Chains A and B, each alone.
Chain A
Amino acid sequence: MKKLLYLSVFIISFIFSNETINSFKIFATTNVAGETEPCG
């Protein structure tokens, strides 16, 4: 009975949780040429 209660609480809190669920990523570089050393 207790297990059932815990499970119900878990499911309900999961459904109504306000946790951040969406995300995306940005990968950015700058000054890539700065790494190269063309010898003059």
Chain B
Amino acid sequence: MGGLARKSAILNDEKNNSSNYFILDAGDLFFKKNSINPGKPTELAKISAETIVNSFNEIGCDAFNIGENDFAMGVDYLTYLKDMSTFPYISANIKNTAGSYLFNPYKIINRDGVKLGVIGLSSVFQKDGINVEDPIESLEKIVEFVNSQSDFVVLLFNATDRDINRFHKLNFPVDIVIQSKSKKRSNDGGNNNTPVYSCGDRGKYIYEFELKYNDIQTDFVDIAVYESTVKLMDRKIKNLSKNNNQPENEEAQNIKLENYSSQKLEAEEKIKSAENIIVINKIELGKKIIDDPVILKIVDSGNMKKNLLNPQPQPGRKNPKHGQPGHKHGR
């Protein structure tokens, strides 16, 4: 959980420089899997989850979307975590068995003149005591209202790729999507109308999106997509000139060159003419980042509790055999 102390250090830097930022989590915050074995694994998972809550309370989070794995210990335990938390939980399609929302479906945050609308969704999954409705139908019900109240709409989506494809087919007034439940680490938001970003499945990256605008009501352009196109076309043009002495006829070569050049020009024009742009920065929560001591203390306290439950082998000792105290499973 060292990433939490590093995440906090990065955000502390930002807090010292500006106040115009938002912190969001797209889901699967507390548990790695959607179910946990009873006994010691349950106790260890509870300590981890409570350490995450205590850390997030300190770091701050403007909206957290509930993912499938967050229900690994059941509805009652998630409700217990929510009561411990000072940050808002959202979901627009997770309801109780009586059909009422378990959490607020969205959150609108008004900060330094920017109204950020954040909607939470999850792909359908089964769990006792809850009813997860179709995410796309649930989005249709609220998205126009949230958009009318906001300058910029973010969808936090604990989504399968199938649901992301369904989302792209309908042109929702959403500015960006942040997808959890995916192993992918996006370099850009892709070529669809609404950029979709996934930050990987190991919690080791924090994504920074810088939104620069002249007119916040008009569309934002993810320049990383067009920068990649420019680089790709440059490469293709270079390869074309390398292969110039191939037997392929000159006319075909010229057609290709024209095609690549025009795609490059189009991408450059998109970057130049963009009124509003999205710049993404993937920040690895690596060991080069100095931990925030406040969060490190919380994490260390959690680790101590875990060690009491599950003693770690002393340095120099051989790894204990399966079933003995301190035995660690290989990955």
Contacts and interface: CB of A to CB of B under 8 A. Distances in A.
A3 interface: no
Contacts of B154: 26
Nearest to B185: A30
B156 to A, nearest CB: 8
B272 to A, nearest CB: 11
Contact of B199 (A24, A30, A39): A30
Nearest to B17: A25
Contact of A27 (B21, B202, B212): B21
Contacts of B22: 24-27
A13 interface: no
Contacts, number: 151
Contact of A30 (B20, B114, B180, B328): B180
Contacts of B209: 25-28
B25 A30 contact: yes
Main secondary structure of the interface of A (DSSP, over half): mixed
B206 A28 contact: yes
Contacts of A26: 21-24, 116, 154, 176, 208-209, 211
B30 interface: yes
A30 B214 contact: no
Interface residues on chain A, size class = 20 to 34
B258 interface: no
Interface in B292-331: 310, 327-329, 331
Interface of A: 18, 20-40
Interface of B: 1-4, 7, 10-11, 14, 18, 20-32, 36-37, 40-41, 44-45, 48-49, 52, 69, 111-112, 114, 116, 154, 176, 178-182, 197-214, 216, 276-277, 310, 327-329, 331
